[in-house]
Amino acid sequence: MLFKVEMVVNIPLDADPAVMDAIKKQEKEYSQNLQKSGKWRHIWRVAGQYANVSIFDVESNEELHNLLLALPLYPYMEMKVEALCRHPSSIREDDR
């Protein structure tokens, strides 16, 4: 199942920079592992914002939910999730 996930990160101004640096490091490692596994297929930064648009390829709504909740920056995020399906005009066979 494919999902588009829009993530906006809102770190409080009074957050401890050292703590946030550690969380960001964990976030990068976690997200890159999901990308290597094929679960997180695409990620794009939104220019001028601390935000991204991502495509996930997972087995179920519950799997996506659990992956997103495990994001180290999750407590600081606002998300919008939309289910996707293959367009009949797509030439990509791996768009399922």
Q: For residue range 61-92, what is the model confidence (pLDDT) as tens digits?
A: 999 999 999 999 999 999 999 999 888 898 88
Categorize the per-residue pLDDT at 96 as very low, low, confident or very high, splitting at 50, 70 and 90.
low
CA distance 34 to 28: 10
Classify domain 2-84 at the CATH topology level.
Alpha-Beta Plaits (3.30.70)
pLDDT in tens, 1-58: 999 999 999 999 999 999 999 999 999 999 999 999 999 999 999 999 999 999 999 9
Q: What's the helix, strand, coil split of the chain in %, to 5? A: 35, 30, 35
CA distance 29 to 72: 10
For residue 92, the model assigns a pLDDT of 81
Q: Which residues of 68-93 are buried (b: 16+ CB within 10 A; e: fewer)?
A: beebbbeebbeeeeeeeeeeeeeeee
CA distance 56 to 67: 10
